[in-house]
């Protein structure tokens, strides 16, 4: 077999693909993005307050804790597993961090690192158990979650609460970045993305592959730049960019890279689709799965710490209370509404953002309309079922053709 | 050159294999030659898969010899056989439906960037190499960027075969590549099988499809019956009926003749 390169830059055949196939891939987030837009338009007509800088700030910050936990869950869902202990992990990790600061006088960064470390350990241990024994992950992590709930109660003092006011922890969620510094941050993010996309473009051209500047660089980078600029302009009218949002955005960027550009990320998808094929191709399936659980645990812990910083304390209800409560359900819902399949192998990291935004929007908007909490739960539940149904429908249509 | 090409590259001699009381193979011999496609045919349970698994190192025979490039070898397992240059494509294909052709071709062998990139996949280089391989195999019709789950059965089968070729093997073993395919899809696989042989590979194909696949796309037909060699034919000089008679055995042959 001699190698003879044919030097035409055209790719091999790209047949016209059906809309359903494209909706299953690059347009997967289109329905949820349109849904989000519709919700915003609807609430804007229902409440004068909805589209104010202050309210949008609230809404975005509301979405960050759920969003960060959902972001970690995406990794576990991609390999076809689930972690029902993420809310409990967020709770116990936040309590450990608070205990470190309040009882032992640890420096805040160290206490935060300890909390995240605990989350990573919990996730890795669950993952190890799932891969070693082969017990379904929903059972293992359900049990782990209850164990953690018990541990959380044991770690709390008799008052049932650690107060974090004036400990320094509150600055994590309470800091705003405004003015030129905010714009420098935004530029930094855009520049990072631009560098990666241009590197792709350069490599593709060096290999003689087609690489339209418009489609591969200008549209994606321009889209993200416009979005970030709009949010920054809008929020800068008030106090600037809230730290939780900045942290969520950074995590989204890093994790999108990990899942979308690296070998580890590819293996998540491969395992989710066909673990046996991945194993035969030499992929260390167990190790990848354990890492996915560890990421979910670490991000859940971070989400919990952020929540503790926002509400200035931890208590029995940190981490959603016993069983994970609404925090667990909304985190799973956020990932799934964001297009991540519960059956593994499908979905994107950025889906966690869209899902969390939808949930926060419903909650925030209905609240402004004066609708009771019951209705909010019902609407969120219906949205979840609706989103998953759309997703399944698309997947079925996009099957072998 | 011609001398090399007429010498078998992989030969099994006098292979026997039992599973408990079941004698799956008895004293079977077979030769694979560079540039030639051998069809392995036989009824269900004739021992075809067992023979291929013996060649691929998955099974160790109870008796018999394994020659590769003229020397007797004692393969330790599938990895050792793959290392020698013998690739096997099993019926289940082992593809990931949510990945595209490039990702499937390179699965487990990704080209990655420097350490500080945390294992960034060098997609462009992989895509170019995948494109070149598919072109060389005249598989230009396969999209590089479409999920294989959305492709036809024939294209999926061909991607699985192309993937084995990325290792630049000398021998390719295909277990029933056309079993689940329509006639037109089987014809696509047939084209690829002949293309592989034209590049100098030795190819073995298990197939039940005598009339639409085996006669048109192979050079030699090896028949197994009840775990024994039951005939070797030149594909160009045999009828489908003769092959079927050899598969089902003497009585049927007499019946068919009479
Ligand atoms: N792992 C196994 N354990 C027991 N019997 C087996 C095993 N593999 C194959 N056999 C038996 O060996 C015989 C040949 O099987 P096989 O090689 O799969 O036939 P073919 O592929 O031609 O249909 C059959 O009788 C089958 O039942
Ligand atoms: Mg068989």
Between helix A243-261 and helix A179-206 the angle, nearest 10°, is 10
CA angle A351–A236–A356, rounded 5-degree value: 20
Number of H helices, E strands in chain B: 10, 10
Neighbour-count burial of A66, counting CB atoms closer than 10 A to its CB (0-12 exposed, 13-18 middle, 19+ buried)? buried
Complex ipTM tops 0.85: yes
Reported as a pLDDT band with limits 50, 70 and 90, residue A70 is: very high
Calculate the dihedral angle through the C-alpha atoms of B174, B179, B181, B182, rounding to the nearest 10 degrees: 130
A106-115, A317-326, A383-392: segment of lowest average pLDDT = A383-392
CA terminus-to-terminus distance, chain B: 46
Task: Tell me which residue of B51, B44, B62, B9 sits closest to B28, measured CA to CA.
Answer: B51
* Whether A134 contacts chain B with CB within 8 A: no
Quick check: A203 and B168 CB within 8 A? no
| The predicted structure's pLDDT at residue A71 | 98
Would you say residue A11 has pLDDT above 60?
Answer: no
Q: Which ranges of chain B have pLDDT less than 50?
A: 1-3, 252-258
Contact B150 A401 (CB under 8 A): yes
The label of the residue with tokens 């099993």 reads B90
Whether B168 sits inside 8 A of A345 (CB atoms) is no
B101 CA to middle of ligand 2, Å? 27
- Choose the closest CB to A1 out of B95, B136, B147: B136
Q: Which atom of ligand 1 is nearest to the CA of B42?
A: 22
8 A C-beta contact, residue A351 and residue A360: no
Query: What is the distance in A from the centroid of ligand 2 to the CA of B175?
Result: 7
Rounded Cα–Cα distance for residues B169 and B82 (Å): 8
Strand B63-68 with B171-174, pairing? unpaired
Check residues A386 and B131 and name the one with the higher pLDDT.
Answer: B131
Q: Is residue A274 part of a domain?
A: yes
- Cα four-point dihedral sign B126, B132, B136, B140: positive
User: Residue B16 C-alpha to ligand 1 middle, in angstroms?
Assistant: 13
Q: What's the domain range around A372?
A: 27-178+239-398
**Residue B237 CB coordination number (10 Å):** 7
CB A350 within 8 A of CB A29: yes
Cβ of B64 below 6 Å from ligand 1 = no
**A401 chain-B contacts, CB cut-off 8 A:** 150, 152
The whole-angstrom separation of Cα A158 and Cα B92 is 60
Q: Would you put residue B227 in left (φ > 0), alpha (ψ -120 to 50) or beta? A: left
H or E segment and range at residue B246: helix B240-248
Examine residue A14 and state whether it is found in any structural domain, yes or no. Answer: no
> Which pLDDT band, with edges at 50, 70 and 90, does A383 fall under?
confident
Centroid of ligand 1 to alpha carbon of B206 (angstroms): 14
Tell which one of B47, B227, B229 to mutate to probe ligand 1, the residue whose CB is within 8 A of the most ligand atoms. B47
Nearest to A173 by CA among A328, A356, A55, A312: A312
| Mean pLDDT of the A371-393 span | 84
Share of chain A above pLDDT 70, in %: 95
Q: Establish whether residue B103 lines the binding site of ligand 1, counting it when its CB lies within 6 angstroms of any ligand atom.
A: no
The residue ranking higher by pLDDT, A400 or B189, is: B189
Grouping H, G, I as helix, E, B as strand and the rest as coil, residue A214 is helix
Contacts of B108 in chain A (CB under 8 A): 278, 281-283
Question: Does residue A338 belong to any structural domain of this protein?
Answer: yes
- What pLDDT was estimated at residue A15? 55
Residue of B nearest to A398 (CA): B150
* Nearest residue to B108 (alpha-carbon basis) of B121, B118, B97: B121
The answer, for A16 touching chain B at a CB cutoff of 8 Å, is no
Tell me, in angstroms, the distance from the centre of ligand 2 to residue B229's CA.
Answer: 16
Q: State which H helix or E strand residue B255 sits in.
A: helix B250-257
A278 close contact with B: CB closer than 8 A: yes
Task: Report yes or no: A158 and A100 within 8 Å, Cβ to Cβ.
Answer: no
Please tell me if residue A20 touches chain B, with a CB cutoff of 8 Å: no
Tell me the residues surrounding ligand 2 (ion) with CB < 5 Å. Answer: B 49
Ligand 1 in reach of B24 Cβ (< 6 A) = yes
User: Where residue A380 falls among pLDDT bands split at 50, 70, 90?
Assistant: confident
Contact between A362 and A376 under an 8 Å Cβ cutoff? The reply is yes
**Are A277 and B96 an interchain contact pair (Cβ–Cβ within 8 Å)?**
yes
Q: Which of B33, B30, B31 is nearest to B6 (CA)?
A: B33
- Closest-CA residue of chain A to B127: A209
Phi/psi at B10 (5° precision): -135, 125
Residue B232's alpha-carbon distances to A165, A358, B65, B132, B250, in angstroms, are 87, 68, 20, 36, 15
DSSP labels, B148-167: GGGS-HHHHHHHHHHHHHTT
Write the pLDDT tens digit of every residue in A26-40: 777 888 899 999 999
Question: A92 in a domain, yes or no?
Answer: yes
Ligand 1: atom nearest CA of B224 is 22
What sign does the dihedral A192-A196-A197-A201 (CA atoms) show?
Answer: positive
Alpha-helical regions (H) of A11-136:
19-23, 30-46, 53-78, 86-102, 108-133
Query: Domains in chain B and their CATH numbers?
Result: 3-97+171-256 (3.40.50.300)
- Within a domain: A13: no
Which of A6, A9, A207 best tests the B interface by mutation, with the highest count of B CBs <10 A?
A207
Test B107 with A4 for CB contact under 8 angstroms: no
Q: How confident is the model at residue A1, as a pLDDT? A: 40
Q: Are A400 and B150 within 8 A, CB to CB?
A: yes
Pocket-testing residue among B49, B59, B88, ligand 1, by greatest number of atoms within 8 A of Cβ: B49
Give the integer Cα–Cα distance in Å for A69 and A326: 13
Residue B41 Cα to ligand 2 midpoint, Å, equals 10
**Exposed / middle / buried, residue B184 (Cβ in 10 Å: 0-12, 13-18, 19+):** exposed
CB contact at 8 A, B14 and B29: yes
Residue of A271, A29, A280, A324 whose CA lies nearest to A127:
A271
The answer to whether the CB atoms of B146 and A15 lie below 8 A apart is yes
What is the spatial distance between Cα B75 and Cα B10, in angstroms, rounded to a whole number? 12
User: Mapped to the 3 state alphabet, what secondary structure does A160-187 carry?
Assistant: CEEECCCCCCHHHHHCEECHHHHHHHHH
Structure confidence at residue A12 (pLDDT): 44
B42 Cβ below 6 A of ligand 1: yes
Taking a C-beta distance cutoff of 8 angstroms, is the pair B86, B55 a contact?
yes
Contact B109, B119 (CB under 8 A): no
How crowded is residue A41: how many other Cβ atoms within 10 Å of its Cβ?
12
**pTM, rounded to two decimals:** 0.89
CATH number of the domain within which A45 lies: 1.10.3470
Q: What would the two tokens of residue A344 be? A: 């593994």
* Distance to chain B for A122, nearest Cα, Å: 24
Quick one: pLDDT at residue A184? 97
Identify the bridge partners of residue A241 per DSSP, sorted by sequence position. Answer: A177
For B151, name the nearest residue in chain A, comparing CA atoms only. Answer: A400
Higher pLDDT, A141 or A324: A141
Inter-helix orientation angle A243-261/A285-311, to 10° = 170
**Per-residue confidence band for A168, with pLDDT thresholds at 50, 70 and 90:** very high
Q: Which of B15, B17, B24, B56 has most ligand 1 atoms within 8 Å of CB, for mutation? A: B24
Q: What pLDDT was estimated at residue A30?
A: 87
Q: Which two tokens stand for residue B125?
A: 């280089």
Question: Total structural domains in chain A?
Answer: 1
């Amino acid at each position: 077999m001699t190698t003879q390169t044919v030097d035409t830059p055209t790719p091999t055949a790209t047949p016209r693909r059906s809309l359903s196939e494209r909706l299953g891939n690059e347009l997967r987030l289109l329905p949820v993005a349109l849904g989000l837009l519709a919700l915003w338009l609807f609430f804007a007509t229902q409440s004068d307050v909805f589209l104010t800088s202050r309210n949008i700030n609230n809404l975005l910050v509301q979405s960050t804790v759920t969003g960060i936990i959902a972001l970690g869950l995406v990794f576990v869902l991609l390999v076809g597993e689930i972690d029902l202990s993420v809310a409990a992990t967020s709770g116990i990790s936040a309590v450990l961090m608070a205990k470190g600061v309040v009882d032992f006088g640890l420096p805040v960064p160290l206490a935060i690192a300890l909390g995240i470390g605990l989350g990573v350990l919990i996730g890795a241990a669950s993952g190890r158990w799932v891969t070693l024994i082969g017990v379904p992950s929903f059972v293992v992590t359900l049990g782990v979650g209850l164990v953690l709930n018990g541990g959380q109660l044991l770690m709390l003092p008799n008052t049932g609460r650690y107060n974090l006011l004036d400990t320094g922890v509150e600055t994590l969620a309470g800091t705003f970045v405004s003015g030129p510094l905010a714009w420098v941050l935004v530029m930094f993010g855009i520049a990072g993305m631009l560098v990666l996309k241009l590197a792709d473009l350069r490599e593709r051209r060096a290999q003689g592959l087609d690489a339209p500047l418009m489609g591969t660089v200008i549209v994606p980078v321009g889209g993200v730049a416009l979005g970030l600029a709009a949010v920054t302009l809008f929020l800068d009218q008030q106090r600037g960019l809230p730290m939780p949002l900045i942290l969520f955005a950074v995590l989204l960027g890093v994790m999108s890279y990990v899942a979308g550009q690296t070998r580890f990320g590819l293996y998540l998808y491969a395992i989710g689709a066909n673990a046996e094929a991945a194993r035969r191709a030499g992929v260390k399936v167990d190790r990848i799965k354990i890492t996915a659980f560890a990421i979910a645990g670490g991000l859940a812990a971070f989400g919990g710490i952020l929540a503790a910083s926002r509400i200035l304390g931890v208590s029995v209800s940190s981490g959603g209370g016993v069983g994970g409560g609404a925090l667990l359900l909304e985190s799973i819902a956020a990932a799934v509404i964001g297009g991540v399949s519960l059956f593994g192998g499908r979905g994107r990291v950025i889906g966690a953002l869209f899902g969390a935004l939808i949930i926060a929007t419903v909650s925030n908007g209905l609240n402004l309309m004066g609708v009771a909490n019951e209705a909010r739960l019902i609407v969120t539940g219906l949205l979840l079922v609706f989103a998953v149904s759309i997703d399944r429908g698309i997947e079925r249509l996009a099957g072998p053709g | 050159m011609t001398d090399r090409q007429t010498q078998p590259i992989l030969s099994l001699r006098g292979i026997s294999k039992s599973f408990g009381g079941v004698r799956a193979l008895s004293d079977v011999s077979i030769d694979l030659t560079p540039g030639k496609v051998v069809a392995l045919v036989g009824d269900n349970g004739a021992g075809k898969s067992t023979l291929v698994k013996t060649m691929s190192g998955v099974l160790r025979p109870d008796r018999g010899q394994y020659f590769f490039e003229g020397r007797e070898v004692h393969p330790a397992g599938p990895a050792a056989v793959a290392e020698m240059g013998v690739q096997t494509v099993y019926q289940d294909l082992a593809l990931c439906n949510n990945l595209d052709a490039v990702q499937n071709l390179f699965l487990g062998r990704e080209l990655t960037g420097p350490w500080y990139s945390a294992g960034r996949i060098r997609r462009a280089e992989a895509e170019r190499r995948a494109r070149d391989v598919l072109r060389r195999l005249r598989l230009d019709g396969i999209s590089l960027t479409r999920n294989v789950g959305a492709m036809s059965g024939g294209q999926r089968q061909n991607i699985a075969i192309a993937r084995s070729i990325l290792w630049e093997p000398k021998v390719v073993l295909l277990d029933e590549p056309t079993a689940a395919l329509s006639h037109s899809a089987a014809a696509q696989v047939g084209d690829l099988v002949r293309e592989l042989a034209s590049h100098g590979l030795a190819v073995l194909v298990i197939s039940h499809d005598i009339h639409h696949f085996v006669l048109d796309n192979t050079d030699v037909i090896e028949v197994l019956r009840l775990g024994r060699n039951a005939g070797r034919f030149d594909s160009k000089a045999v009828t489908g009926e003769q092959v079927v008679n050899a598969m089902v055995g003497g009585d049927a042959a007499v019946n068919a003749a009479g």
